[in-house]
Copies of this chain bind each other. A is one copy, B any other.
Amino acid sequence: MGATMLRSCARLIRRGIALPGQPQSPRPLPCCYTTPRFYSPEVIRDYAMPNATWSKNLQDLYNRYMEGSQSGAWERIPSYNATVHHIKGVPPSRTRENRLFTRNLDQDGVGFEYSMFYNKAERRMVCLFQPGPYLEGPPGFTHGGCIATIIDSTTGAGAVYLCGSVMTANLTINYKNPIPLGHVVIIDSKVERVEGRKVYTSCQIRSHDDAVLHTEASALFIKLGP
């Protein structure tokens, strides 16, 4: 599996990945998951900032991590609704019809409401997540694929902040307790080790008050680029 993905990534690196609307011709790798840069709010909206649909639990957690960021332990990660805005060198004015999967809804509060914080010393990426009513799987509960998505995004961001651009090679998820829609959870991920191009991560999802373990997961990423 790792070897297959490595070959697949090597092909992508050789060929380059065409951005949509561009011909499939060799070009520099535009990166996959990459570290975003900060824009001023007037230029591009940062969706990781609080809005009126955030519950008190989500807002309280956000405030706690923001306090942690003032001491330098945690760094808040910006989040935009198009992948290209996360890539250095692509101008924000570029018109795009594509949207990042986790930021594709027009209305606040109905989909993924989340904010991530990075702890460099501990190689941890934490995501504070409030699933909205448009993320339903079982009646009243968050879809298993939605949980997989926030795990992929959080562990992937952690891998990127340590190692640069990566692609997902494996995702293994054990669902232990369903997550009710609207309940705030914390996705706590860590880069466990790096072996060559392979970046091994682990992840737990717990309720906002730490009382319930909802999900355990591991994810393997492959480093791209030089």
Interface residues of A (CB under 8 A from B): 1, 4-5, 8, 12, 17-20, 30-33, 82-84, 87, 97-102, 104-105, 110-111, 133-141, 143-146, 148-153, 156, 167-178, 181-182, 216
Contacts and interface: CB of A to CB of B under 8 A. Distances in A.
Contacts of A138: 17, 31-33, 83, 167
B178 A139 contact: no
Contacts of A134: 98-99, 101, 104
A150 B82 CA distance: 21
Contacts of A30: 139
Given A100-B136, A135-B101, A136-B101, A174 B178 contact: no
A214 to B, nearest CB: 9
A170 B216 CA distance: 10
B84 A139 contact: yes
Contacts of A5: 174-176
Nearest to A224: B138
Given A170-B174, A173-B171, A148 B152 contact: yes
Nearest to A107: B106
Contacts of A146: 101, 145, 149
Given A1-B176, A31-B138, 20 more contacts: A1-B174, A1-B216, A5-B174, A12-B178, A17-B140, A32-B137, A32-B138, A33-B138, A87-B139, A98-B133, A98-B139, A99-B110, A100-B143, A101-B146, A144-B149, A145-B145, A145-B148, A168-B175, A170-B173, A171-B172
Contacts of A144: 149, 152, 156, 168, 171
5 tightest Cβ-Cβ pairs between the two chains A and B: A145-B149, A148-B148, A32-B138, A101-B143, A104-B134
A140 B100 contact: no
A20 B18 CA distance: 43
Nearest to A33: B138
A4 B178 CA distance: 12
A145 B102 contact: yes
A111 B104 contact: yes
